[in-house]
Structure 1
Amino acid sequence: MASAVESRHGPAFSTVAVVNLIPEAGGFYGHNIWAPDAEWFKGIKKDDEVIVLGMWDAYTSKPQKPSKEGAFKTLTKRRLTTHLVLKAQISKLVE
């Protein structure tokens, strides 16, 4: 799932995925791309493929118990974040 959003920190483009790599352990993966101008994300839609050049910050939480009982015994959150300086750092791939 991908979406362009406006937050109190400025415009951002976010993706989120929940992946099950180990049957008992769930993983939550997210990517945030921040920019000083929301216009930089104009023309990018859900399921578009993009290339983003920049320095990425990585965050990984310690495995935790999920908030709801379900298929996973533990849940680990992983997130990548970058802050664009130039519009040219993000490009939509065209088929």
Structure 2
Amino acid sequence: MPDSPNAGAPVRDAPRGRYRFREYHVTTVPDPLALPKFEAVCVTGEEHNCGATSGTLHTPDELTRWIAEHCAQSGHELYEQTVRAVVRAEPSAWQ
């Protein structure tokens, strides 16, 4: 018997399966060899944000210093802060 022209198409009237997922626990641990990355963006403004950015810094003190300098120069008070770090996942047992 020849193959149907719709051989790879999904079957519309197939019964739907019910899947159950077990909970998987993972602990994240900071990588001691990777430096964290801190960045701030000035979001002060009514019509639009100022948009000044600190660039990537590696300590919270550097970030605070940049914010303080920008605030002193511009009078802007609102900032969005981003902290990024490389972490390692340490899986534990299925629950």
Q: TM-score interval w.r.t. the shorter chain? A: under 0.3
Q: TM-score, normalised by structure 2?
A: 0.27
From the two aligned structures, give the one with the greater helix fraction. 2
- Larger relative contact order, structure 1 or 2 (CA cutoff 8 Å, min sep 6): 2
Structure ID, larger Rg: 2
TM-score, L = length of structure 1: 0.27
